[in-house]
Structure 1
């Protein structure tokens, strides 16, 4: 006799969000921030730009925490895949649905194009998230003729500049440890060597995507921020912590309100896992500073 078996369907980590495209998701709570609830001083919208090829299970940990902290805030998630770094046109295509949603929120009056205080909290991860946000800023400027609206930002493990060791580490991690990685090592080394040669001739071929991110994220004609926090670590082998500090110093020199937060022992985009209490305190205090500084 065949036994009755319970058939269970695995719940997808991002099932709480609506999928606008393969790379863009939105979350709209039943109760949202309205003119009558703005006294709560919470973000109307949180924009999360994940790191390269991030797994949904890992991204969801940040989304669900934001839902718990700011239950009335809308959330936009934009993913990043490696091929975007090779093609600006593809990066623009991937970000387009997120821009379209934001523009619809502006057109509907939910968000203001020129708010007196920030309504958006931006949270970006690694060079992938940096590329997403840089592309969003550029797309917004080209399509609307004005910079992205005033906002606060948290930079997790970014931005970084090109270096042989960090680029090698980013690529080799995709191969399982053992024989497979051993076989892949000379090919990855050769590929990164070619990238290094190309980088050496950047005065001929132009900036690489990391250099563009670096420049744009401190371009005050495109970036209108009340303040930003940098969360980074010395144990990060994919983005040099010294690069992050350099960018923070340049931002401060431009007049931006900067908060650098160094984590001693946590690897790349693992600072929340290392010390979640400290991590989310930085995030919430970043937002609180944004709305109290106005």
Structure 2
């Protein structure tokens, strides 16, 4: 099991090609849309388990001693300009960067090679949650995607260990590993997701949770969906919780009533309305 604490860095450990039951990618319709797709994502394969930055630096004022014919003149305080704030790439927001994105481009395919984010890169310990059932989570990213793998992994694990997440009822907890996992959370290009999710028909548009892996479609990670508006962070949290929910054996749920909070297992990537968007298994008021 990998360490639960981490420092900075983005080194990768090569995990090799994805291990799934899919042998061939699924052909994508040329004009597939979310509304037109008929994907029945199943819960098969349920898991058994500093620096503070440069601040203005002001030198002490040192009045010069008075000369023989002129009054003393205090020296000018010297300052060093603070380092500029990190630049947000074009087309992205600060929230996008916090989810690991480095660019807004969505390649249809990348290298096809999955790399494991080392557990040592975790910035904080994962919550144990007072339960004997702890699932080991390995986070993987397809090489070649414009994403910071360490930041993405931190987003995933922060979501899974949130008090509103699947461990909110004390039934399960999650800890990160770079060794043999119970659950794999994989960020992959649309083409690779199609391969990993087959025979489910994801058509380059949506994600799935099956065979021990939650395969998150990079297109959805970048673009989210219309019903979430500008709140792409909440949609990304939903995506993690929904697909991991399938690995926990949770089936899809319908919208129960107009204006009701959507169940996290509702297929919100297709439509949220008439329910209200919700990213969490145990939402709090």
> Normalising TM by the smaller chain, what interval?
under 0.3
Larger strand share, 1 or 2: 1
Larger helix share, 1 or 2: 1
Computing the radius of gyration over CA atoms, which structure comes out larger, 1 or 2? 2
Q: TM-score, normalised by structure 2?
A: 0.27
Higher RCO, 1 vs 2 (CA within 8 Å, ≥6 residues apart): 2
Q: TM-score, normalised by structure 1?
A: 0.26
